């Protein structure tokens, strides 16, 4: 029954079966099936609001699913005890979409916090580990800043550093490079590849950036309004004939040319009376 039964080097480290999720009465995920294999980089793509973050929250056991099963590292999240969950969570790292840095402590302490709370390292070791991770994401020298003093991109990188603080077996990143300048974004991509190669880390990345997705992904899953539209290798995705997928691939935000007339129409043409906005 447990993952040990199917212990090849391609063992599924995450198994999602028929996952249905609601926010209130609105169904956000419709029977999602997804496997993530040990040591691979799985990229999840899809339009805004398609349910990527929601899927991630379910894999992290932050929400109660309506139905279905989710197994992470052999632990069934639906039936796991608190102790099992706590144990599991030491093996995963998460960089949230908005960073979710602790606003009352500085950057270095943010990265140190998991080490401080979950390990027996002495303070100097923790500090060295934290500084190493910050160095890796290019935040050396910013250790003492408070989260409110960081730019958006710096927050993302600090969150990434915190996510890898414990050298997790699985790393989840919700849009790690959105809003970063191209050089840093590409450095994050290299970092993700490096973590997989050097530590055999399994990494799940949510991203909108097509170039980045094709650069790092071993496999890609495309979500659309709560459905898995596609799951497979980047090569298969490129050659896929489904129109919705081709739309997604060709709709590169960076290459969008804006038609001035259309733009003006979009700005002025909503149904509401603009004088009543407030």
Partner 1 sequence: MTSVFERSPTIRFLERIGRGVARGLEEIGMSAGFLVESLYWLLFGHGQRQPVRPASIFQQMMDVGIRAVPIIGVLAATIGVMLAIQGIYTLRTFGAESRVTIGIALSMTREFAPLITGILVAGRSGSALAARLGTMKINQEIDALRVMGINPVRFLIAPALLGCVVMVPTLTFFSDVVGLWAAGVFVGMDLGMSMVSYAEELGRILTPDDVIHGLGKSAIFGMLIALIGVVNGTLVTGGAEGVGRCTTRAVVQSIAAIVVTDMVFVFVTTR
Ligand X SMILES: Nc1ncnc2c1ncn2[C@@H]1O[C@H](COP(=O)(O)OP(=O)(O)OP(=O)(O)O)[C@@H](O)[C@H]1O
Q: List interacting residues with ligand X (CB under 6 A).
A: 23, 28, 46, 48-54, 97
Which partner, partner 1, Mg ion, ligand X, none, binds residue 235 by CB below 5 to 8 Å per kind?
A: none
The C-alpha atoms of residue 56 and residue 72 are separated, in whole angstroms, by: 12
Q: What is the footprint of partner 1 within residues 32-91 (CB under 8 A)?
A: 57, 60, 62, 85-90
Beta strands 219-224 and 227-232, pairing class: antiparallel
Give the residue closest to Mg ion by C-beta.
53
CB 46, min distance to ligand X, A: 6
Using the rule CB under 8 A, give the single segment among 9-17, 43-51, 102-110, 237-245 that binds partner 1.
Answer: 102-110
Which partner, ligand X, partner 1, Mg ion, none, binds residue 121 by CB below 5 to 8 Å per kind?
A: none
DSSP 13: E
Which partner, Mg ion, ligand X, partner 1, none, binds residue 128 by CB below 5 to 8 Å per kind?
A: none
Which partner, partner 1, Mg ion, ligand X, none, binds residue 101 by CB below 5 to 8 Å per kind?
A: partner 1
- 247 by Cβ neighbours in 10 Å (0-12 / 13-18 / 19+) ranks as exposed
Does position 114 interact with partner 1 (CB under 8 A)? The reply is yes
Does position 50 interact with Mg ion (CB under 5 A)? The reply is no
CB 119, min distance to partner 1, A: 10
Tokens of 209: 């950036």
Q: Which long-range contacts (CB under 8 A, 24 or more apart) does 24-30 make?
A: 27/66, 27/226, 28/54, 28/226, 29/54, 29/55, 29/58, 29/226, 30/226, 30/227
Bridge partners of 21? 29
Does position 53 interact with Mg ion (CB under 5 A)? The reply is yes
The C-alpha atoms of residue 195 and residue 170 are separated, in whole angstroms, by: 10
CB 210, min distance to ligand X, A: 14
Beta strands 202-206 and 170-174, pairing class: parallel
Which partner, ligand X, Mg ion, partner 1, none, binds residue 219 by CB below 5 to 8 Å per kind?
A: none
The C-alpha atoms of residue 231 and residue 177 are separated, in whole angstroms, by: 22
Residues in contact with Mg ion, counted by CB under 5 A, come to a total of 2
Does position 92 interact with partner 1 (CB under 8 A)? The reply is yes
| Residue number, 60 or 228, with CB nearest to partner 1 | 60
């Amino acid at each position: 029954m447990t993952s040990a039964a199917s212990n090849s080097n391609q063992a599924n480290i995450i198994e999602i079966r028929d996952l249905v999720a609601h926010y209130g009465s609105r169904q956000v995920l419709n029977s999602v099936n997804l496997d993530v294999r040990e040591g691979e980089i799985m990229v999840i793509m899809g339009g805004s609001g398609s349910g990527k973050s929601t899927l991630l929250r379910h894999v992290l056991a932050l929400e109660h699913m309506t139905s279905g099963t989710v197994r992470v590292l052999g632990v069934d999240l639906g039936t796991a005890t608190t102790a099992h969950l706590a144990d599991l969570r030491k093996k995963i790292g998460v960089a949230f979409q908005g960073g979710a840095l602790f606003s009352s402590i500085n950057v270095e302490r943010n990265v140190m916090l998991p080490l401080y709370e979950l390990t027996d390292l002495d303070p100097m070791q923790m500090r060295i580990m934290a500084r190493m991770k910050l160095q890796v994401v290019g935040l050396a020298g910013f250790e003492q800043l408070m989260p409110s003093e960081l730019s958006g991109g710096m927050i993302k990188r600090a969150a990434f550093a915190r996510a890898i603080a414990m050298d997790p077996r699985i790393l989840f990143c919700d849009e790690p490079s959105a809003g970063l300048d191209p050089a840093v974004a590409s450095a994050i991509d290299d970092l993700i590849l490096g973590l997989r190669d050097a530590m055999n880390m399994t990494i799940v990345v949510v991203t909108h950036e097509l170039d980045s997705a094709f650069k790092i992904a071993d496999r890609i899953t495309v979500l659309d309004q709560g459905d898995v539209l596609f799951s497979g290798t980047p090569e298969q995705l490129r050659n896929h004939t489904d129109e919705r997928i081709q739309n997604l691939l060709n709709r590169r935000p960076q290459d969008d040319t804006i038609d001035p007339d259309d733009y003006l129409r979009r700005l002025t043409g909503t149904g509401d009376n603009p004088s009543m906005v407030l």
